[in-house]
Amino acid sequence: MAHPSSSQIKPDHGGLNPKHVAIIMDGNGRWARQRGLPRTIGHREGVEAVRRTVRAAIEIGIPYLTIYSFSSENWSRPREEIDYLMGLMKRFIRRDLAELHQAEVGIRVIGERDGVDRELLALIDEAQELTRNNTRLMLVIAFNYGGRNEIVRAAGRLAEELAAGRLDPAKIENKDFERALDTYSIPDPDLLIRTGGEIRLSNFLLWQSAYAEFVFLDTFWPDFGREDLAAAITEYIGRERRYGGLASRSMA
């Protein structure tokens, strides 16, 4: 089967394109260091890369895009950098919300709310409520998020169901656990991209990525754009997803 080049990737009605792309946006600090700039400039340029990627996802026809914005481990960074990142999140919502809503982009933020300041939480709630019925693209922002923490919190919710007698421990299935996750009702990612040259998950969507295809790029996140997204999708299209089964075609 011939696969399209990255420049030919278009909205796909034949089912080849991934329905859900998740991205670990890595390399802002190293991008800045290479240029002799403060790390904050790398983060600022990283937001521009988010804007480019959202536009590209809409153009290509990706229904779900999840970005790893701020991990629960990032609180260990210097206070000045954390404050700057919180400010970037606020400015992104204030500046981009109207445009995203007009483009029919729905916003959903996953992760813990504990420790996040009230002003930012109010902006997050406003963004989610305003865009809740938009269906062109679901932009999922993993903010103050950690995969292990999400699984522990989900287990706690199931424990409450068990204690209340609403759930039979002998009949718990994957779907019961998935209902307790932050990503409930969001399909698992088909394609997970990590920029910045590192090859690890960094506690991102651990449950949900069980059968995702991974693409690791050396490109630092501030340089990421439509062609990088399209190239990763092209690579994804060229793979065969077997979900633990046998290949459907003979392997040479």
Q: How far apart are CA 192 and CA 210, in angstroms?
A: 11
Q: How many CB atoms lie within 10 A of CB 128?
A: 14
How far, CA to CA in Å, does 22 sit from each of 29, 50, 69, 165? 21, 12, 11, 36
Q: How far apart are CA 166 and CA 158, in angstroms?
A: 9
Q: Which two tokens stand for residue 24?
A: 């670990």
In sequence order, which residues have a C-beta less than 8 Å from that of residue 245 and are 6 or more positions away? none
Q: Which long-range contacts (CB under 8 A, 24 or more apart) does 1-4 make?
A: 3/234, 3/237, 3/238, 4/234, 4/237
Q: Which residue has the tokens 């089964």?
A: 245
- What residues act catalytically? 26, 74
Q: How far apart are CA 163 and CA 155, in angstroms?
A: 12
How far, CA to CA in Å, does 195 sit from each of 12, 46, 170? 24, 11, 42
